[in-house]
Amino acid sequence: MALTDRLRERVRDAVLAARVVRSTRILAALRPGGITRFARAARGGTRGPHLITMLHAHTQPDKEALIDGVRRLTWGDLDAHVNQLAHALVERGVRAGDRVALMLPNGADYLIAQQAMFRVGGVAVQIGHRLKTAEVAYILDNAEPRAMLGHASLADVIVAARAQAGSTCPLLLIGASAAPADGERWEDAVAGRPTDRPPKQVGEGDGGVIVYTSGTTGKPKGAARSFKQTGMEAAAEVMLRLGMRADDRHLVVCPLYHSAAPAFVAMMMGLGATSVLMNHFDPEAALALIERERITCAFVVPTMLVRMTALPPEIRGKYDVSSIRWIICGAAPLATETARATQAWLGPVLWNFYGATETGLVTLAGPADHGARPGTIGQALRGNEIRVLGDDGRVLPPGEIGELYARNGMLVSGYHRNDDATRDAMRDGFFSVGDLARVDADGFYYLESRKHDMVISGGVNIYPAEIEERLHNHPGILEAAVIGVPDPEWGESLAAFVVARAGAALTESEVVQWCRDALADYKRPKRVVFLDELPRNPTGKVLKRDLRGLT
């Protein structure tokens, strides 16, 4: 890059940063004397996102940082807890670049553990707390962590998985009445430890995270990202367009062990806002929490919106949710009908983004786009380049469906110990997670399907998302998913799995006719299966492999 181009880029970055500072009102909350104390405290320490916690601890120590069902922590409290755990990790041999596994439910402890890891310069290996023994053992074997932090409620799975993987690294369990046979109580490990930061640790690497993919089509892959991969341009644009502010109160209802929920929490922490964490999502409980804590914003997955908008009007009407300024949705396709129902209830507050664990934030759609461009995932965010490629690798023109590839400053460095999977996902520096999409003439993108979900019937490509969108528009259908099943004549035919709304009396012929009225004959399902609920993983994705076992 030429010198003039670098200078121009730095000026653009500086202007963008200034706009974010002004828009978010972050400076109004920071005490000048505290900034000086922060600079002294941070001198000579490990760099990373943990410095944000330290900054707010010195500039607004009494403001609430985290609230969960157990406690309310100020920024000063949070920073002290982070330092104590960081000291305990150092004493157990964790150094910069080392991997430490986290297996914890949503709560303040999760973010304390994550921040402590970053303060040491370590890499957080995030393990889903709903995984079974063999699944956890696979991750431990693949990641080879130097230490592990877990919750006592998960002790049976953790201990069994460690034995199966042959892992002997130090284990700290929080909430245990007694130390496990192969570990220690977290509370004992941090008791009496200093509340100031530990010395900078020498090691390889700059710290980061490894997030294991959902594994909907096979063994999970560990997407590795270092703190050098920030994607600040995209994050800054999201902050500006959503109107994020330092006085926000952010509801956390999605799993922190994934990637999207902690990304939005990180933005909130960066601003010094307050995060309110739910351990388990319940639609009415979420509304009660919004009223009680005067929640202003949230990241959700579409199924959460489906469940909240499906509540009877008299239930929704019991709670004052007027404090909500914005909701952002992602991690799974958002049906147009769900978007419309949400905004009919809450007003024009709903945003939708596309991204993945491997790519970070890629596109963003605003509240007006749901009606004007049904089904869109929006336009590319700053810092993103997107290509829609055919099977031959050529860039497809607007309107044609191909595989979506993205390149930005937040792409993962690859899959941990899986070079083959990394090579398969990359093309000329662009990354794909197997999503099929199209772009219109105005640069708005639309997801069509997952590559492995595409159905070929009689030699014709069928994208289930189109049929699912039609089914979601039926007034008696709450949720739906479509897959391809073997067909002796056509190779594959369509099967629809439908969850009816309460009180709706649907028949198979009615559902098929609903599709026939708006779609080509070859796109109508040949079979309809009614379910009480769709099988989903904790991040909201429908497990279509489980549906195949029901046909």
Say what the pLDDT of residue 380 is: 98
Q: Is the predicted pLDDT of residue 429 greater than 60, yes or no?
A: yes
Q: Is the predicted pLDDT of residue 202 greater than 90, yes or no?
A: no
Say what the pLDDT of residue 13 is: 77
227-254: average pLDDT: 90
Put simply, whether the predicted model's pTM sits higher than 0.85 gets the answer: yes
- pLDDT tens digits, residue range 73-91? 999 999 999 999 999 999 9
Q: How confident is the model at residue 222 (pLDDT cuts 50, 70, 90)?
A: very high
Higher pLDDT among residues 315 and 1, named by residue = 315
Q: How confident is the model at residue 398 (pLDDT cuts 50, 70, 90)?
A: very high
Higher pLDDT among residues 4 and 197, named by residue = 197
432-444: average pLDDT: 95
Share above pLDDT 90 across residues of the chain, in percent, rounded to a whole number:
68
Say what the pLDDT of residue 196 is: 93
Higher pLDDT among residues 35 and 102, named by residue = 102
CATH number of 31-212: 3.40.50.980
- Among 47, 456, 493, which Cα is nearest to 226's? 47
Say what the pLDDT of residue 27 is: 85
CATH number of 232-452: 3.40.50.12780
Q: Is the predicted pLDDT of residue 8 greater than 80, yes or no?
A: no
Helix (H, G, I), strand (E, B) or coil at 412: coil
Q: How confident is the model at residue 132 (pLDDT cuts 50, 70, 90)?
A: confident
Q: How confident is the model at residue 529 (pLDDT cuts 50, 70, 90)?
A: very high
212-240: average pLDDT: 80
Helices 75-91 and 50-59 pack at an angle, to 10 degrees, of 140
Which DSSP letter does residue 229 get?
-
**Residue-wise over 43-65: b if at least 16 C-beta within 10 A, else e?**
eebbebbbbbbbbbbbbbbebbb
CATH number of 454-548: 3.30.300.30
Say what the pLDDT of residue 331 is: 83
Say what the pLDDT of residue 475 is: 93
Residue 251 main-chain phi, psi, to 5 deg: -85, 125
Q: How confident is the model at residue 432 (pLDDT cuts 50, 70, 90)?
A: very high
Domain with CATH 3.30.300.30 in the chain: 454-548
Higher pLDDT among residues 538 and 72, named by residue = 72
Q: Where are the alpha helices (DSSP H) in 25-49?
A: 32-42
**Alpha carbons 56 and 39: distance in angstroms, whole number:** 12
417-441: average pLDDT: 93
Say what the pLDDT of residue 423 is: 93
Say what the pLDDT of residue 37 is: 87
324-334: average pLDDT: 92
**Alpha carbons 462 and 460: distance in angstroms, whole number:** 6
61-66: average pLDDT: 97
Task: Output the average pLDDT for the chain.
Answer: 91
362-390: average pLDDT: 96
Residue 497 near residue 550 (C-beta atoms within 8 A): yes
Q: Is the predicted pLDDT of residue 459 greater than 90, yes or no?
A: no
Sheet holding 99-103, edge to edge: 184-185, 171-174, 147-151, 99-103, 123-126, 208-212, 222-226, 414-415
Residue 47 Cα distances to 91, 100, 103, 199, 488, angstroms: 20, 18, 24, 12, 60
| Cβ-Cβ contacts under 8 Å for 18 (sequence gap 6 or more) | none
Domain with CATH 3.40.50.12780 in the chain: 232-452
- pLDDT tens digits, residue range 467-524? 998 999 999 999 999 999 888 878 889 999 999 999 898 999 999 999 999 888 889 9
- Among 217, 105, 297, which Cα is nearest to 541's? 217
Q: Is the predicted pLDDT of residue 147 greater than 90, yes or no?
A: yes
Amino acid at 41: A
